[in-house]
Structure 1
Amino acid sequence: MNATQTGILAGLILGLAATQGFTAFLVTLAVGVIGMVVGRVLDGELDLGDVFGKGRDK
């Protein structure tokens, strides 16, 4: 199990634990996506510098 899978699993579990009621699905989905992104960063599959840009040189 790599860091991406661990991040998704942890995010989904935390989302389920933190939610109750009608918005449970949306909160769990959002926390799962955050966990996936963190896991990909830890695996080195996603570079945040490419996502947010490195700044503008003028």
Structure 2
Amino acid sequence: MSMAVVGLAAGMALGFAGYFGGFGAFLLVAALGLIGFVAGKFLDGELELGDLFRPRERDGRRR
């Protein structure tokens, strides 16, 4: 599935949540979507848990 289709589905889900549930539901769906995205990246091996908490170097080099 292409990223455009995934983005379309996420946008539609957020739109329905905002329309039927109000702004609170919109924020809840957005937060759960973000958590699911990060979990998916972690399970695919594209993200390590240390990447979320380790400070980044400005020039891209590690010490």
TM-score using structure 1 length? 0.51
Question: 1:22 Cα shift?
Answer: 3.9
Identity of aligned residues (%): 54
Return the alpha-carbon distance in structure 2 between the equivalents of residues 33 and 22 of structure 1: 17
List structure 1 runs of 4+ shifted beyond 6 angstroms: none
What 5-or-longer segments of structure 2 have no aligned partner? Answer: 55-63
Q: Which amino acid aligns with 1:24?
A: A
Return the alpha-carbon distance in structure 1 between the equivalents of residues 52 and 23 of structure 2: 32
Question: 1:49 Cα shift?
Answer: 1.5
- Is it true that 1:41 corresponds to 2:42 in the alignment? yes
* Number of residue pairs aligned between Structure 1 and Structure 2: 39
What 5-or-longer segments of structure 1 have no aligned partner? Answer: 54-58
- Alignment root-mean-square deviation, CA: 2.3
